[in-house]
Amino acid sequence: MLLVCNCYNFNRTFRELPAAPSDLGLSNEGMGVELSWSDNSDNELGFSIERNRKVGEAIIDGFTEIATVGRDSTSYTDEGPLLLSSVYIYRAFNAAGYSDYSNEASINY
């Protein structure tokens, strides 16, 4: 039996970290928040959405993963619960690990 694969893509997907996403933007979506971003990688398995809360410059909670979305995703709606000021970051991941974080974006409720 002969098997053929694109080994370059296989090795790249599982050995190189994905490029960090960018241009995180937020908008009110009813009682939730719509997040949108630019997908700058072609080898991610998905994106990790993380949130924390701040009052002024004081961080109330550390960043906590609230969701993951699949490869090539460029949006997510966080339906809460949202308390105080919510600050978001996100990053791509694959079998090799996580990319650098995106920019932070915040929204007040």
Tell me: the pLDDT tens digits for 6-35? Answer: 334 445 556 788 888 999 888 887 778 898
Indicate the average pLDDT of the chain: 77
pLDDT in tens, 35-47: 899 999 999 888 8
Domain 18-108 listed as CATH 2.60.40.10: yes
Q: Is the pTM value of this prediction over 0.85?
A: no
> What is the structure's pLDDT at 55?
66
> What is the structure's pLDDT at 1?
30
Domain ranges across the chain: 18-108
> What is the structure's pLDDT at 77?
92
Centre a 10 Å sphere on the Cβ of residue 54 and count the other Cβ atoms it contains.
Answer: 16
What is the mean predicted confidence (pLDDT) over 67-81?
89
Sign of the torsion angle spanned by Cα atoms 80, 86, 91, 93? negative
Q: Which residues fall within 8 angstroms of residue 32, CB to CB, at 6 or more apart?
A: 77, 78, 79, 80, 82
